[in-house]
Structure 1
Amino acid sequence: MEETKYTEDNIRSLDWKEHIRMRPGMYIGKLGDGSSADDGIYILLKEVLDNSIDEYVMGAGKTIEISIQGTRVIVRDYGRGIPLGKVVDVVSKMNTGGKYDTKAFKKSVGLNGVGTKAVNALSSYFRVESTREGKSASAEFEKGELLEQEFLEETSRRKGTKVSFIPDEQIFKNYKYRHEYVSKMLKNYVYLNPGLTIVFNGEKYFSENGLKDLLAENINEENRLFPIAHLKGNDIEVAITYNKTQYSEEYHSFVNGQHTTQGGTHLAAFREAIVKTIREFYNKNFDASDIRKSIVSAVSIKVMEPVFESQTKTKLGSTEMGGDLPTVRTYIVDFVKRKFDNYLHKNPETAEKLHKKILQAEKERKDLSGIRKLARERAKKASLHNKKLRDCRIHLGDVKKERNLETTLFITEGDSASGSITKSRDVNTQAVFSLKGKPLNSYGLTKKIVYENEEFNLLQAALNIEDSMEDLRYNNIVIATDADVDGMHIRLLLITFFLQFFPELIKEGHLYILQTPLFRVRNKKETIYCYSEEEKQAAIAKLKGNPEITRFKGLGEISPDEFKNFIGEDIRLDPIMLDKDMGIEEMLSFYMGKNTADRQNFIIENLKVELDPIEETA
């Protein structure tokens, strides 16, 4: 065997922008196309926005303006402005920024000096403009390369910083900013910074009551077990209530204004603190799951120099608060113990309702214990030879795995579709769970059905969400069914199951529908897959002549070789999102309940007939 030479010629040093462009995942997590809230294009916006938020936190500038028109993003703040002589360095030199001086930025988010550099390197167009004391400096870049800079000795522009960028389509394929995701991100920013105004495409976001407003937005008043308890202290804020109709726990956690979607040390401490406080208040050793069942809460802390487990800062790894303060765990447990205990003493009616809720949860758990034990044994046995789940190697909870945000579980129907996806998937990050026929309509049923129904029980076990969302094994749960009447019905039944028993999977943006192409248009040189009639016409025009056109009827007839084109980097996903104007209970009873006449009228009024184009290959 010939020995490979390893000399000085093999050593290559990349400059900052080349490194970011070659390994974008190290800086912004996954790339994606905008169909998921943690896709790269939102991280780019967030990195720019974090700098403007830090200005507000430092007492400079109460308004931030954001405009997203197509692919162009503009963020304008009225803070202090970047020091004019450093405008180019701050966005193009690694380890340059004001955040290293902890006097100027004590508890900010963007502490590693990488954020705007990553945005610059990953944008086909990037412009930064800073105005201070009547003077202005600006610089324009392309893929991190400086094109031109300008300095004005005199300007009437208001002070602050304006950043414009267009994410590079070579890196982010077929991307689109979704208003819903941007809106949710901005709402979180204003909840965490009461008094801040953010204007997005003319729409105003503002919060007076912080995390209390966040919970009020997420749970309708009629579903709250008791009025939202809003507790505040130095470097910590908490809001708590319980949902009368929800089985699962729901948490919104933040560190230094950063939404930690994967939790971390602060959330673990908060969950522990709730249990400890309630046990001591009632002087009863309740089971932790009974105490936390149906809780809806938000916790926000500020930490000196936080340590996150990834560059995208979705999970806190720090155990220290910083300065002379105790550990994160002790700080949170002490705060909740003192404040929530006081709250319950001052509000006996709330304490009584909460006591009843815990006893009810305990009774339900005991009623279920026999069947749960049986179901677990069944699931354990099945998992040894579980024909339903073809697992992948990397999972969401894996620490320091660069690709764990890509982990996906496809839920498919029928052997042929499952077979095609299984053969063409990425075995590292893509798993397949196959259903046999239509799942049960779980509307109005109790949690008992999750254990009694083998399919639901195995799905719950595959996702690992029986006790909490903390251990969710896949970041994306993708329903992959045919786009016909039966396939649509299966989608509806699965969405009902998740809404009924695990609504936070949907609230936290983990559930999707897989889009599959309707047509294949090809000639001898090129094949184009089309997802709509418009795309088909464009493909025919592009390939000219008389290309062959195939109409796909179902997933089962797409070969594994072709399937990899639809579930690889060009995957198209439609996120399942909740309508904030309609509660889950209300929605489920309308679509899945017995209100036949109302539903019939709704269908008739909203019916849209699309005639299937005649098969052109016939």
Structure 2
Amino acid sequence: MAQSQYTEENIRSLDWKEHIRMRPGMYIGKLGDGSSADDGIYILLKEVIDNCIDEFVMGAGKTIEIRIKDNLVSVRDYGRGIPLGKVVDVVSKMNTGGKYDTRAFKKSVGLNGVGTKAVNALSTFFRVESSRDSQIKVAEFTQGNLTSEEGPMETSKRKGTKVSFTPDESIFKKYKYRPEYVERMLKNYVYLNPGLTIDFNGTKYHSQHGLKDLLEDNNSADDMLYPIIHLRGNDIEIAITHSKTQYSEEYHSFVNGQHTTQGGTHQSAFREAIVKTIRDFYGKNYEASDIRKSIISAISIKVMEPVFESQTKTKLGSTDMGGGLPTVRTYVNDFVGKQLDNYLHKNPETAEKIQRKIIQAEKERKELSGIRKLARERAKKASLHNKKLRDCRIHLGDMKNDRRLESTLFITEGDSASGSITKSRDVNTQAVFSLRGKPLNSYGMSKKIVYENEEFNLLQAALNIEESMEDLRYNNIVIATDADVDGMHIRLLLITFFLQFFPELIKENHLYILQTPLFRVRNKKETIYCYSDEEKREAMDKLSGKPEITRFKGLGEISPDEFQHFIGDDIRLEPVMLDKAMSIEELLRFYMGKNTPDRQEFIIENLKVEVDLVEENQL
């Protein structure tokens, strides 16, 4: 066998644009189409906003204006404006930026100077305008290549920077910005920066009470066991309450304004500090899990030159605060130990409610211990010959793998559907969990049922969420059921299970519904899969003549060869989102409780009548 030549000609250097476009995952995590909150299009938006936030933190500009229309995004701040002679360099030269001078940007997030360059390289249109000292400089780019440059020239515009961009559709396939995700991101920015106003498409976001507002906006007041404990100090802010109904722990953590969804050293220190302070306050060695059960909390800290475990900055790796301060662990422990202890001494009513909650958690844990032990043994045995879970190789906890955000668990009904998905999935990032029949309606049941019901126990074990959300194995949990009455019912029962026992999976945008095509329209030359009647009509017009139309009734009908189109690059996911207007308890009581007449009335009032498909095809 002849050896291929290996000479100087085989070696080439990629310039910064090519490298970002060839390896976008290194810079912005996963790509996606906008159906997930951590898809790349939101990271692009965040990178631009981060620069505006850094200006606000430096005391320059109190308003940020954001507009998104037809995938054209514009972000305008009223900060100092990029120095006019460096406008092009700042958005197109690697390792160029103001944040290397730590005197100017002491506690900034974007220290590596990559952010806006990645946005520029991954956009078909990118425009930057900087106004300062009554002058303006404008530059435009396509896929990172400079196409035009104007100025400096005189202007009457207020000082500041405006960045406009359109993400490249050849990289972000069929994407769209979901306002719910953008709104959530912007709310986090204002919670962390009291005094800042963000205007998004005409709606203004502002926060007076920081992390206290975050907990209030995300949770029903009726579900809080006691008023939120809100404590602020130099470079640290915390907010804590306990839920009356939620079983698991819930943390919102931030570093220098960055939402660290994967936690890190600060979140670990916070969890540890709460346990130590509570034990010291009551003088009792309570179990850590009993103290933290049902906690809803948030922590924000500011660190000098933070070290994150990935470019998308979702997990803090720093152990030091910087600037001569102690370690992150010591700093958080000292603050919580002193301030939370003071608060509990001054608010005995809250202290009493917390203690009652701990004692109740302890009682429930002891009642569950026997069942839990049996369930674990059963799960261990089942996992040796368990056909329910067909696992993948890469998981959410693999911090060094840039595909970890693609890790997905499909929950399917029956063997035929799971067989099709299993044969066509990507074994690196896609796992399959197969249900047997309909799951139990878990509304109103205690956590005991999760261990007693084999299906729920194995699902909990597959997700690895019994102890904490931090150990979640898959970023995306996808319910893949048939689009018929039984499939809808199974979907509803699974959502009920997650709402009842693991609501933060939904709050943190991990749960989705797989959209599968309703029709296949084809002629001898082309096949088009359609997800709605409208798409079917468009396909019929496109293929003209008399194309063959197939109506899919269930996932089992779709062959593995076809299925790979629906769970690959063109996957369509519908996120499961919570309506803030209704508490989880109200939601479950209405839809899953014993109020059948009310529900019947609701269904009749909201019923949609569809034309019979066979009849429509004959028209």
TM range (shorter): over 0.9
Partner of 1:86: 86
Shift of 1:7: 1.4
Equivalent-residue separation in structure 1 for 2:327 and 2:386 (angstroms): 43
Equivalent-residue separation in structure 2 for 1:301 and 1:404 (angstroms): 26
SS at match of 1:364: helix
Equivalent-residue separation in structure 2 for 1:319 and 1:90 (angstroms): 30
Partner of 1:234: 234
Partner of 2:208: 208
Equivalent-residue separation in structure 2 for 1:387 and 1:503 (angstroms): 27
Shift of 1:541: 2.1
Equivalent-residue separation in structure 2 for 1:34 and 1:376 (angstroms): 38
Partner letter of residue 311 of structure 1? Q
Shift of 1:546: 2.8
Residue by residue, what CA displacement relative to the aligned partner does 1:372-406 show, whole Å, maximum 9, x if unpaired?
00000000111111110000001100120110000
SS at match of 1:565: helix
Q: Confirm or deny: 8 A CA contact 2:84 2:152 kept in the other structure.
A: no
Residue by residue, what CA displacement relative to the aligned partner does 1:162-190 show, whole Å, maximum 9, x if unpaired?
11100010000010100100000000000
Change (3 A) 1:200 1:617: closer
Q: Confirm or deny: 8 A CA contact 1:396 1:404 kept in the other structure.
A: yes
Equivalent-residue separation in structure 1 for 2:476 and 2:442 (angstroms): 22
Partner of 1:383: 383
Q: Structure 1: any 5+ residue segments left out of the alignment?
A: none
Equivalent-residue separation in structure 1 for 2:35 and 2:544 (angstroms): 32
Q: Is residue 485 of structure 2 the alignment partner of residue 485 of structure 1?
A: yes
SS at match of 1:594: coil
Partner of 1:245: 245
Identity level (%): 82
Equivalent-residue separation in structure 1 for 2:352 and 2:157 (angstroms): 58
SS at match of 2:366: helix
Q: Confirm or deny: 8 A CA contact 1:481 1:491 kept in the other structure.
A: yes
Equivalent-residue separation in structure 2 for 1:270 and 1:31 (angstroms): 32
Partner of 2:173: 173
Partner of 1:315: 315
Partner of 1:334: 334
Partner of 1:351: 351
Shift of 1:617: 9.1
Q: Is residue 58 of structure 2 the alignment partner of residue 58 of structure 1?
A: yes
Shift of 1:148: 0.3
Equivalent-residue separation in structure 2 for 1:110 and 1:292 (angstroms): 33
Shift of 1:136: 0.1
Equivalent-residue separation in structure 2 for 1:167 and 1:376 (angstroms): 47
SS at match of 1:478: strand
Partner letter of residue 572 of structure 1? R
Match runs of 1:422-571 below 5 Å: 422-571=422-571
Shift of 1:5: 2.4
Shift of 1:600: 1.2
Equivalent-residue separation in structure 1 for 2:8 and 2:417 (angstroms): 50
Shift of 1:362: 0.1
SS at match of 2:45: helix
Partner of 1:198: 198
Partner of 1:284: 284
Residue by residue, what CA displacement relative to the aligned partner does 1:139-182 show, whole Å, maximum 9, x if unpaired?
01111111101114211111101111000100000101001000
Partner of 1:140: 140
Q: Confirm or deny: 8 A CA contact 1:550 1:617 kept in the other structure.
A: no
Equivalent-residue separation in structure 1 for 2:220 and 2:428 (angstroms): 40
Q: Confirm or deny: 8 A CA contact 2:254 2:300 kept in the other structure.
A: yes
Change (3 A) 1:604 1:149: same
SS at match of 1:492: helix
Q: Is residue 595 of structure 2 the alignment partner of residue 592 of structure 1?
A: no
Change (3 A) 1:485 1:58: same
Partner of 2:254: 254
Residue by residue, what CA displacement relative to the aligned partner does 1:274-331 show, whole Å, maximum 9, x if unpaired?
1111111111111111000000000000011111111111111111111101111111
Deviates more, 1:277-286 or 1:402-411: 277-286
Partner of 1:360: 360
Q: Confirm or deny: 8 A CA contact 1:548 1:617 kept in the other structure.
A: no
SS at match of 1:494: helix
Q: Structure 2: any 5+ residue segments left out of the alignment?
A: none
Equivalent-residue separation in structure 1 for 2:218 and 2:116 (angstroms): 32
Partner letter of residue 365 of structure 2? R
Q: Confirm or deny: 8 A CA contact 1:393 1:429 kept in the other structure.
A: yes
Equivalent-residue separation in structure 2 for 1:554 and 1:388 (angstroms): 19
Shift of 1:525: 2.5
Match runs of 1:96-135 below 5 Å: 96-135=96-135
Equivalent-residue separation in structure 2 for 1:420 and 1:342 (angstroms): 59
Shift of 1:565: 0.3
Q: Confirm or deny: 8 A CA contact 1:60 1:78 kept in the other structure.
A: yes
Equivalent-residue separation in structure 2 for 1:616 and 1:353 (angstroms): 62
Q: Confirm or deny: 8 A CA contact 1:125 1:140 kept in the other structure.
A: yes
SS at match of 1:161: strand
Equivalent-residue separation in structure 1 for 2:108 and 2:482 (angstroms): 47
Q: Confirm or deny: 8 A CA contact 1:33 1:176 kept in the other structure.
A: yes
Partner of 1:603: 603
Partner of 2:302: 302
Equivalent-residue separation in structure 1 for 2:139 and 2:185 (angstroms): 28
Q: Confirm or deny: 8 A CA contact 2:60 2:80 kept in the other structure.
A: yes
Number of equivalent positions: 618
Shift of 1:10: 1.2
Q: Confirm or deny: 8 A CA contact 1:225 1:241 kept in the other structure.
A: yes
Shift of 1:220: 1.6
Partner of 2:392: 392
Shift of 1:612: 4.1
Equivalent-residue separation in structure 2 for 1:66 and 1:465 (angstroms): 37
Equivalent-residue separation in structure 2 for 1:425 and 1:123 (angstroms): 30
Shift of 1:526: 2.1
SS at match of 2:65: strand
Residue by residue, what CA displacement relative to the aligned partner does 1:62-112 show, whole Å, maximum 9, x if unpaired?
000000112110101100000011111111111111011111100011111
Partner of 1:40: 40
Equivalent-residue separation in structure 2 for 1:280 and 1:42 (angstroms): 43
Equivalent-residue separation in structure 1 for 2:420 and 2:567 (angstroms): 11
SS at match of 1:153: strand
SS at match of 2:326: coil
Equivalent-residue separation in structure 1 for 2:609 and 2:260 (angstroms): 43
Equivalent-residue separation in structure 2 for 1:168 and 1:543 (angstroms): 28
Runs (4+) off by over 4 Å: 615-618
Equivalent-residue separation in structure 2 for 1:604 and 1:258 (angstroms): 46
Equivalent-residue separation in structure 2 for 1:612 and 1:321 (angstroms): 65
Equivalent-residue separation in structure 2 for 1:525 and 1:8 (angstroms): 45
TM-score (norm 2): 0.99
Equivalent-residue separation in structure 2 for 1:62 and 1:427 (angstroms): 48
SS at match of 1:564: helix
Equivalent-residue separation in structure 1 for 2:4 and 2:115 (angstroms): 38
SS at match of 2:521: strand
Equivalent-residue separation in structure 2 for 1:584 and 1:203 (angstroms): 26
Partner of 1:578: 578
SS at match of 2:613: coil
SS at match of 2:126: strand
Residue by residue, what CA displacement relative to the aligned partner does 1:504-547 show, whole Å, maximum 9, x if unpaired?
00000000000001111222222211111111122222223332
Q: Confirm or deny: 8 A CA contact 1:107 1:256 kept in the other structure.
A: yes
TM-score (norm 1): 0.99
Shift of 1:477: 0.1
Equivalent-residue separation in structure 2 for 1:560 and 1:4 (angstroms): 37
Equivalent-residue separation in structure 2 for 1:522 and 1:188 (angstroms): 47
Equivalent-residue separation in structure 2 for 1:493 and 1:8 (angstroms): 61
Equivalent-residue separation in structure 2 for 1:101 and 1:168 (angstroms): 32
Partner of 1:9: 9
Q: Confirm or deny: 8 A CA contact 1:550 1:615 kept in the other structure.
A: no
